[in-house]
Structure 1
């Protein structure tokens, strides 16, 4: 009888094959914005669903290190994966979570799991740019009102927020450095807000700027940082916290340049 994990219909899977599936699932979650504790929990559950009892996994915002043993406990298998490009796609995280639950309830053939993970990876539910910009513009106007703004400032915040977010997306495509994209976008937001107030279209400069920069604020990064710290993942929590701090610095710097020199 071949050594391995007997799962379905007398099929035997090597621990190395199960490790590859776990790493693929963890990569999908991590690069789409999942918390590190969630990635560790999900890949551990997947491995144990295939009768792998000895599992150790360590996840940071940019890397996954996972080690597991054969069922006999004789051979260690270790894999390291670096995650460079990260974005926010909660839908893909939910799909991987759903797949892991189905595996926990009834282990699926590894070939099927790999196919479904690859389908999740290639699937795109990103809204078109015009819809993202319109949503950012509408959100800017509404958030400006939440910060005790007035209706005369709604249109300036709407236009400023939409244009600022459009610039953020465009610069991000060109230079692919989020920090500089946020600096350029916040600089333009401050410039437009000052122009609207100078023309008499807007009244309260601070309210217009605050509402317009809100689509750029790293809300999810801050939430994940706090959640990781609460879960005891100090390295990941501090890393995400620094990332959020850099974004806040970029936004503040762009606006400060305009206010200082104009």
Structure 2
């Protein structure tokens, strides 16, 4: 934290950092642009332009003598709604004049460095419960409730492990869906379940990119065609990975 106080930070640096945190946490592009513009204008900038895509941020401030334009590439994206909420709250506090440039930057650094609000084990537990519930929601038998929980929880555990090793989300989702298919088939084959399809459907639901699909539609409605189409393609690729993994296992066995 002492290193942060040794220099003065500019408006564009604060805005880009806020946008980076939000975009990496799964925020819609129009929300990121709006937050960046509001922060800049709250600190006195009059002419501000921002352009955000899922993989890059371009931010420009027009001054009296020069135009300062910066770009930040986004290399990782995930889902952390808590960080989005914190940055939104911070932007409102900045609009109210509560924080200076330096204080706002320090707050954003703290948000960026904060660990994910939910531990891996809590995520696995949630995926386990959700998988069993989805089995029932898709009209599966209560006999398949426990097998669905086992398959979904184990599958999500494998996903977290594989995603850290492979670093390519398509392959981690593909391998995880194949593992889910194998587990479901083994459980039914050994008499611990009745309907393979219901168990598989419930177990893969934690992998379905619901937030990405929602953001894609909201960006398209807001007129952000590039971001909407990009996120839609990302969601389609994820669906193909999940479907391909399951199809291959079903086809082999």
TM-score range, shorter chain: over 0.9
Partner of 1:154: 145
Unaligned runs of 5+ in 2: 1-7
User: TM-score when scaled to structure 1?
Assistant: 0.91
Task: Give aligned pairs, total.
Answer: 246
Distance 2:49 2:120 in 1: 41
Structure number with bigger Rg: 1
Among 211, 216, 225, which residue is 2:202 paired with?
A: 211
> Is the 1:23–1:64 Cα contact (8 Å) retained in structure 2?
yes
SS for the counterpart of 1:202 is coil
C-alpha RMSD of matched pairs (Å)? 1.3
Distance 2:115 2:186 in 1: 38
Give the deviation of 1:200 after TM superposition: 2.1
Unaligned runs of 5+ in 1: 1-13
Partner of 2:25: 32
Distance 1:198 1:58 in 2: 53
SS for the counterpart of 2:57 is strand
Partner of 2:35: 42
Please state if 1:58 is matched with 2:46. no
Please state if 1:140 is matched with 2:134. no
Give the deviation of 1:129 after TM superposition: 2.1
SS for the counterpart of 1:57 is strand
> Is the 1:18–1:110 Cα contact (8 Å) retained in structure 2?
yes
Distance 1:188 1:24 in 2: 38
User: TM-score when scaled to structure 2?
Assistant: 0.94
Partner of 2:185: 194
Distance 2:99 2:188 in 1: 61
> Is the 1:160–1:193 Cα contact (8 Å) retained in structure 2?
yes
